[in-house]
Amino acid sequence: MTDLFSPINLGPYQLSNRIAMAPLTRNRAGPGNVPGDLAAEYYAQRADAGLIIAEATQILPEGQGYQDTPGIHSPEQIAGWRKVTDAVHAKGGRIFLQLWHVGRVSHTSLQPGGKAPVAPSAIAAKTKTFVNNTFAETSEPRALEQAEIPAIVAAYGQAAKNAIAAGFDGVELHAANGYLLDQFLRDSSNKRTDIYGGSIENRARFTLEAARAVIAAIGAERTGIRISPVTPANDVSDSNPQALFEYLVQQLNALNLVYIHVIEGSTGGPRDFGGDFDYAALRKHYSGVWIVNNGYDPALARQVVSSRAADLVAFGRPFISNPDLVERLRVGAPLNEVDRATLYGGGAKGYTDYPRLDQAAE
């Protein structure tokens, strides 16, 4: 029988269990947006996850939307991440990096030259970002010229190469949660009239081009993607998400992407948001590894894996507060609660100091 602790193949890798650590923004990068030694310790503490998907990481300076998020576009960032991947591999773990461009979810104070953030269309997101140690409205974006898009597509490929140079086992394209790729996918944020707007095929074009660029750089067997078909996160919505995401998944299947990681419902919120969206219909179009996420408790996680409705379950907040989440799930131990005050920014507190079961018993 298949359970959460059954090994599974992911491209060239054999994962030791079906529990993934979801990508989690923690805003603890150092100067130059370089991940530090504390990040290496944090990820190494969680290395018994079948797969770690490291936090969203900007592919370009323009792709940053919050303070102190790491990048993967400079040599210093590659060197910083190398410490993380070495620490995880030393403990037998597997780690992918999530490649991120925030698009309009940014602030001029983070943009090179203080310029406007870029987006499919010049429509501001009604959402806040975190800059200068406080929450701020996102800045009014400008619409990308069609001629600018190839350079961003190429930057995804370069970032994937950089991730492999940093020792990652693969990458996950961040096409979820209302960031740049999702802004192009969904018709509330994409009002373009060129080949990147209008029809479903046109709105999916940028994401598929980015996927092809990453595949060309590092191989489909090291390339996954994260989508969130109905989430309202960062002020995006779509008039027909079922048709949009069924098309996207069909196309991703043809590209042989190694996994699709689906956020069900509202990110970090209700799983039933989006009403009758049919996730099983999405999966029917895809023959690779299917990772599910959002608000899974241990019982639901066991059920979807044993029924084969999903191949892996990604846990977010439970992995923040339980470095030994895998062991706790194995023995049915209670979970530590997450401290919301230390989620974003700061140092070791709320990052590397959550107790393991053996420490709690001391």
Give me the residues that bind ligand 8OZ (CB under 6 A), please: 25, 56, 66, 176-177, 233, 267
Which residue number, 267 or 336, has a Cβ lying nearer to ligand 8OZ?
267
Q: What is the closest distance, in whole angstroms, from the C-beta atom of residue 263 to ligand 8OZ in the complex?
A: 9
Q: Taking the complex as a whole, how short is the minimal distance between the CB of residue 146 and ligand 8OZ, in angstroms?
A: 26
Kindly provide the residue ranges of all beta strands, DSSP E only, lying in 81-214, ordered along the sequence: 95-100, 118-119, 128-131, 134-137, 142-143, 170-175
211 touches 218 (CB < 8 A): no
Contacts of 340 (CB under 8 A, 6+ apart): none
**Containing H/E element for 331?**
helix 325-331
For ligand 8OZ, which is the closer residue by CB, 109 or 146? 109
Q: For ligand 8OZ, which is the closer residue by CB, 10 or 233?
A: 233
Give the separation between CA 207 and CA 85, rounded to whole angstroms. 26
Q: Which is nearer to ligand 8OZ, 119 or 176 (CB)?
A: 176
Q: How far apart are CA 150 and CA 197, in angstroms?
A: 15
Three-state SS at 14: strand
Six-digit token pair at 345?
């920014």
Q: How far is the CB of 345 from ligand 8OZ (least distance, A)?
A: 11
In this structure, are residues 99 and 172 in contact, taking their beta carbons and an 8 Å threshold? yes
- Please identify, using beta-carbon distances, which residue of 25 and 85 lies nearer to ligand 8OZ: 25
CA distance 58 to 111: 12
Nearest distance in Å: CB 176, ligand 8OZ:
6
Q: Which is nearer to ligand 8OZ, 52 or 305 (CB)?
A: 52
Report, in Å, the least distance between residue 25 CB and ligand 8OZ. 4
Q: Which amino acid is at 14?
A: Q
Given 156, 179, 196, 351, which residue is catalytic? 179
Of residues 150 and 269, the one with the C-beta less far from ligand 8OZ: 269
Q: Which is nearer to ligand 8OZ, 16 or 183 (CB)?
A: 183
Nearest to 99 by CA among 44, 148, 55, 144: 55
Question: CA dist 345 to 77, 132, 204, 248, 351, Å?
Answer: 18, 11, 34, 34, 9
Q: What is the DSSP string of 38-50?
A: HHHHHHHHTTTSS
Q: Residue 351 Cβ, how far from ligand 8OZ at the closest point, in Å? A: 15
Secondary element (H or E) of residue 225: strand 223-227
Cα of first residue to Cα of last residue in the chain, in angstroms, is 35
To ligand 8OZ, the closest distance from the beta carbon of 307 in angstroms equals 27
Is residue 43 annotated as a catalytic residue, yes or no? Answer: no
What are the CA-CA distances from residue 65 to residues 56, 69, 108 (Å)? Answer: 11, 8, 9
CB of 175 to ligand 8OZ, least distance (A): 10
Rounded CA separation 173/100 (Å): 7
What stretch of H or E contains 53?
strand 51-58
Provide the annotated active-site residues.
179
